[in-house]
Amino acid sequence: MAIRMIVLEPDDVLHKRAKEVAVVTSNVKKLLDDMAHTMYDAEGVGLAAPQVGILKRLIVIDADDENGLIKMINPEIIHSEGEQLGPEGCLSIPGINGDVRRAETVTVRGLNRDGEEITITGSGLLARAFQHEIDHLNGVLFTDIAEKVYEMKLDRIETEE
């Protein structure tokens, strides 16, 4: 696995619709593995292929729940319900957060890395991550739909010895 460079806003690739993956090849599997490695290295919860400069409908998510690492090809939301409003950030927009209204629970269908159809239902953070990453596949950033956007300031805490 390799760590890929994360594309930063305002790169045009982040604003384009990604293309469906027709065949799950070894290159697609390697890309999913690289994306997972890149996401963990950047301490993210999710990553979409456009964020590494590739316009394919691929996402990886690890919401630190019982699902563990999710690698999904051609994901689509087939059901959503409820509502949550909460903060989001993005590896492609460092230092910026925003309050985004999302569905509380979503059911997503797609293919796993072996090309088999899978369906996952998630709530809370997992639902938010699915919606955020699928938005990336459609060229939508959280800043496009946030009710409020704000800059994050990291306070440095120094300890005396």
**Rounded (5°) CA angle 126-59-1:** 115
Q: Are 72 and 58 in contact (CB under 8 A)?
A: yes
Percent of the chain whose pLDDT exceeds 70: 94
Q: Which residue among the candidates 66, 133, 151, 160 is catalytic per the annotation?
A: 133
Which residues are CB-contacts of 101 (< 8 A; sequence separation ≥ 6)?
A: 83, 84, 85, 145, 147
Residue 156 has a pLDDT of 44
Short-list 37, 43, 90, CA closest to 60: 37
Mean pLDDT computed over every residue of the chain: 94
Residue 152 has a pLDDT of 79
Dihedral pair phi/psi, residue 137, rounded to 5°: -65, -20
pLDDT of 3 over the 80 cut: yes
Residue 8 has a pLDDT of 98
- Pick 46 or 156 by higher pLDDT: 46
Mean per-residue pLDDT, 49-64: 98
Short-list 15, 142, 18, 155, CA closest to 91: 142
For residues 61, 140, 17, 94, the Cα torsion angle rounded to the nearest 10 degrees is -60
pLDDT, tens digit, 9 for 90 and up, residues 85-138: 999 999 999 999 999 999 999 999 999 999 999 999 999 999 999 999 999 999
pLDDT band per the 50, 70, 90 thresholds, residue 158:
very low
Residue 98 has a pLDDT of 97
C-alpha distances in Å from residue 21, one per residue of 4, 26, 111, 151: 20, 12, 10, 35
For domain 12-151, give the CATH number: 3.90.45.10
116 given a catalytic annotation: no
pLDDT band per the 50, 70, 90 thresholds, residue 2:
very high
Q: Which residues are annotated as a binding site for Fe cation?
A: 90, 132, 136
Q: Domain boundaries in the chain?
A: 12-151
